[in-house]
Amino acid sequence: MTTVTDSVLRSRAAVRRRVERARDFVTETQPEALAVVGAVILTILSAFAGFLLNSSWTAIPLFASFVAVGYGWIRHQALLVRALTFATTTVTLITLGLIVVFIFDEAWPAFVYETATVLGVEVPGLRMFIETRWEAVTPPRQFSLVPMIHGTVMVTTIATLVAAPLGVAAALFIAEIAPPTVREVVKPGVEILAGIPSIVYGFLGFTLINPWADRAFGLNGGATYLFVGIVVGLMALPTVVSVAEDALTSVPDSMKNGSLALGATDWQSMTSITLPAAFSGVSAAVLLGIGRAIGETMAATVMLRGVAQISDPLWNVFYGYDTLTSLITGRYGTATGTQEQALFAAGVVLFVTVMFLSIGSQWIEARMESNLGGHR
């Protein structure tokens, strides 16, 4: 008994000594750790500021940040990771904020130029959205975005009608119906399709679809909103499939098994349990696909005619003139002055549209999580 007691006491004393040494080490190294962390954050932010100011001295804080990070990684790894994540997050947020400020600042003169008066009140940029004429050369110059907004809406609507039902159906097949061997092949294949550059789709549409449409139907040289929307919808399809499939597979198996145990068929379980429970994720997938369709540049630029005009009638999909993205791509290299600023105004419209789509997807997700008890 005495031996056991002595052993326990010795163990406690050893533990107490180790704790005291660790406390002493932390007390001694805390000022050094704080100094290293401060140096890392300060040098990274200084290098970033020098880059923004186009300073020739940027290399000095950049090199100093490498030295501080290397020393901190050896001596204070845990604190260094927290400092690095803080510094990089700060740089990212500042960069995004500066991009937004730059776009709006460059576009503001165009909004001022297109000011219109309503009930005695001058509204900057209003004429861009109530007129239909884009004329950058012949006076009086005018920069209406209505024709391009119309083209963007047409292409996006057709792309959504292609990508949404096909994408959700494919996601249901992969998540609920396909055997594991098929799923292991199809899922990576879909994700690979998402990485194909848009110029490849646009080139295939320009060389194959446009000539075929022109020969078969005599449709405006083949450059129509219909076929551009189909191509863009196929481009957005992998994104919709991948995100929707992840949302569907995240539904707990207990919910599906409970439905099957009550006598529901597989189809009834999918439509009554899986889809409603994953509706927030599926809707986010569709909105991501719409966002890609709105922001698609190369396919629309290559396949459309690049004319600022509205089809007559408005719903005629067998014409294809211009979209906001193709307007920017086709004219930015040669635009100067107010025309260049009007292109930035088109970028502002795209930015605001995609931002509202993102907010809408977050709102839908929050509402569905509230209604369904947190299930995605």
**For residue range 156-214, what is the model confidence (pLDDT) as tens digits?**
899 999 989 999 998 888 888 888 888 888 888 888 887 788 788 888 887 888 788 77
Which of 164, 158, 145 lies closest to 323, judged by CA? Answer: 145
Is residue 344's pLDDT more than 90?
yes
Under DSSP, is residue 135 helix (H, G, I), strand (E, B) or coil? strand
Under DSSP, is residue 117 helix (H, G, I), strand (E, B) or coil? strand
Residue 262 region by backbone torsions, left for phi larger than 0, else alpha for psi between -120 and 50, else beta: alpha
Residue, of 113 and 84, whose pLDDT is higher: 113
Is residue 3's pLDDT more than 60?
no
Residue 317 CB: number of other CB atoms within 10 A?
17
CB 297 within 8 A of CB 325: yes
Radius of gyration for the alpha carbons in the chain, expressed in angstroms and rounded? 29
Residue 143 phi, psi dihedral angles, 5° rounding: -130, 75
Lowest mean pLDDT among 101-110, 215-224, 227-236, 342-351: 215-224
On average, the pLDDT of the chain sits at: 80
pLDDT value at residue 229:
87
Residue, of 279 and 148, whose pLDDT is higher: 148
pLDDT value at residue 102:
93
pLDDT value at residue 349:
92
Q: How confident is the model at residue 7 (pLDDT cuts 50, 70, 90)?
A: low
pLDDT value at residue 28:
42
Q: How confident is the model at residue 219 (pLDDT cuts 50, 70, 90)?
A: low
pLDDT value at residue 220:
60
Residue, of 360 and 141, whose pLDDT is higher: 141
The DSSP bridge partners found for residue 143 are: 134
Which of 36, 100, 123 lies closest to 74, judged by CA? Answer: 36
Torsion of CA 154, 96, 100, 133, to 10 degrees: -30
Q: Tell me what the mean pLDDT of segment 239-245 comes to.
A: 87
d(CA 236, CA 286): 9
Residue located via tokens 């803080």: 86
Position 145, amino acid: L
pLDDT value at residue 106:
92
Q: Full-prediction pTM beyond 0.75?
A: yes
Which of 321, 172, 318 lies closest to 241, judged by CA? Answer: 172
Q: What is the DSSP letter of 134?
A: E
Q: Tell me what the mean pLDDT of segment 79-89 comes to.
A: 82
- Tens digits of residue pLDDT in 110-148: 999 988 888 888 888 888 888 888 888 778 888 889 989
> What percent of the chain is modeled with pLDDT above 70?
88
Q: CA end-to-end span of the chain, whole Å?
A: 60
Q: Tell me what the mean pLDDT of segment 252-265 comes to.
A: 75
In the structure encoding, which two tokens stand for residue 280, read together? Answer: 């927030």
Residue, of 259 and 244, whose pLDDT is higher: 244
CB 375 within 8 A of CB 252: yes
Q: How confident is the model at residue 26 (pLDDT cuts 50, 70, 90)?
A: very low
pLDDT value at residue 13:
64
CB 132 within 8 A of CB 146: yes
Q: How confident is the model at residue 376 (pLDDT cuts 50, 70, 90)?
A: very low
For domain 145-371, is the CATH number 3.40.50.11740? Answer: no
d(CA 343, CA 111): 11
d(CA 266, CA 173): 12
- Tens digits of residue pLDDT in 89-104: 888 899 999 999 999 9
Residue 279 CB: number of other CB atoms within 10 A?
19
Which residues in the chain are classed under CATH 1.10.3720.10? 145-371
